[in-house]
């Protein structure tokens, strides 16, 4: 919803936001490509301006809800368009900025096959978006943003949500480990009676509490309108890291059961919305002023 809310025309907002908010329509966000994940600036998806609209070509990958979406936000490099997206014969095939497009289900040349065999984030559908001479009308363009700051601005919002979501994953793992530690008997007593198990649970609870406070404070900054992308990176990076560590630790408490799908531990080991390394570099740049991506 955020790209349409922040960058869409009044007409696009009216058409999609009420339905998306009510859950009557599903949307997805197509940025990542097979060869460009952490480095979306290299994307190969292209939108070529025609007299009547746009023709999109390219492939997106790892797109949450792609297969079931009514509308897909697709980010593409533009060609043959003037500064406002109008056809521009005199600019020929020159490369323009990255722009966002609303591609509706059923658009000619568009398909969204589901990706299978995921071990984590199994509650949501993950998809490819295939754009093969996909034709969309001129007003499919999101008019109010140009360049990489468009998708990156959306990621800041989504990653704020991930900072909270990771805490939920950590809590589920902690919960499963704490319950199991009271029930599983070894050497004649619950494994929760061993000091080593108690230390694991105490560490998990401490990290979860710290992560909750971090996300809560970030929420206060967001409410105040002062939240910065580097602060989101700090919280998302920390909370996902502790969630992964807690999943690993919970797996040890559960013994062999820890690797089964009977318990909610393995499925919580996941990476998305930017990797740990990239958020480290975002923070490093914010601290030193020096980008270290290349």
Ligand X SMILES: Cc1cc2nc3c(=O)[nH]c(=O)nc-3n(C[C@H](O)[C@H](O)[C@H](O)COP(=O)(O)OP(=O)(O)OC[C@H]3O[C@@H](n4cnc5c(N)ncnc54)[C@H](O)[C@@H]3O)c2cc1C
**Which residues are near ligand X by CB under 6 A?**
28-32, 37-38, 62-64, 121, 126, 271-275, 277-278, 281, 293
- Find the residue with minimal CB distance to ligand X: 37
Name the minimum Å distance from CB 135 to ligand X. Answer: 22
Name the minimum Å distance from CB 144 to ligand X. Answer: 20
Q: Which is nearer to ligand X, 67 or 181 (CB)?
A: 67
Distances (CA, A) of 45 to 33, 36, 169: 8, 10, 33
Name the minimum Å distance from CB 122 to ligand X. Answer: 9
Q: Which is nearer to ligand X, 124 or 252 (CB)?
A: 124
The catalytic residue among 10, 273, 277, 294 is: 273
The pair of three-digit structure tokens given for residue 201, joined into one six-digit string: 């649970």
The CA R_g of the chain, rounded to the nearest whole Å, is: 22
Vertex 60: Cα angle to 54 and 63 (nearest 5): 120
Q: Is 273 a catalytic residue?
A: yes
Torsion of CA 47, 50, 55, 58, to 10 degrees: -40
Q: Which is nearer to ligand X, 29 or 54 (CB)?
A: 29
Q: Which is nearer to ligand X, 249 or 273 (CB)?
A: 273
- For tokens 């900072």, name the residue: 163
Name the minimum Å distance from CB 150 to ligand X. Answer: 12
DSSP characters over 124-163: S-EEEEEEEEEEEEGGGB-TT--STHHHHHHHHHHHHHHH
> Annotated active-site positions, please?
273
């Amino acid at each position: 919803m955020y790209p349409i809310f922040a960058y869409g025309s009044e007409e696009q907002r009216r058409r999609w936001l009420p339905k998306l908010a009510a859950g009557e329509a599903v949307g997805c966000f197509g940025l990542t490509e097979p060869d460009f994940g952490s480095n979306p600036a290299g994307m190969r998806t292209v939108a070529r301006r025609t007299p009547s609209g746009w023709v999109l070509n390219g492939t997106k990958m790892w797109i949450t809800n792609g297969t079931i979406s009514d509308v897909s936000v697709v980010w593409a490099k533009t060609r043959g368009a003037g500064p406002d997206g109008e056809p521009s014969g005199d600019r020929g095939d020159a490369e323009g900025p990255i722009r966002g497009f609303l591609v509706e289900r059923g658009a000619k040349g568009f398909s969204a096959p589901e990706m299978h065999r995921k071990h984590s984030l199994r509650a949501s559908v993950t998809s490819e978006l295939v754009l093969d001479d996909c034709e969309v009308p001129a007003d499919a363009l999101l008019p109010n943003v140009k360049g990489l700051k468009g998708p990156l601005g959306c990621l800041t919002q989504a990653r704020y949500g991930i900072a909270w979501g990771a805490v939920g994953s950590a809590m589920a793992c902690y919960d499963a480990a704490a319950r199991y530690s009271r029930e599983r008997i070894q050497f004649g007593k619950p494994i929760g009676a061993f000091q080593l198990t108690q230390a694991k649970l105490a560490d998990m609870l401490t990290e979860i509490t710290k992560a909750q406070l971090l996300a809560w404070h970030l929420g206060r900054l967001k409410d105040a309108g002062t939240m910065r992308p580097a602060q989101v990176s700090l919280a998302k990076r920390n909370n996902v890291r502790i969630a992964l560590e807690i999943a690993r630790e919970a797996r040890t408490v559960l013994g062999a059961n820890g690797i089964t799908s009977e318990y909610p531990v393995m499925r919580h080991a996941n990476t998305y919305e930017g990797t740990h390394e990239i958020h480290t570099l975002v923070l490093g740049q914010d601290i030193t002023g020096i980008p270290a991506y290349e």
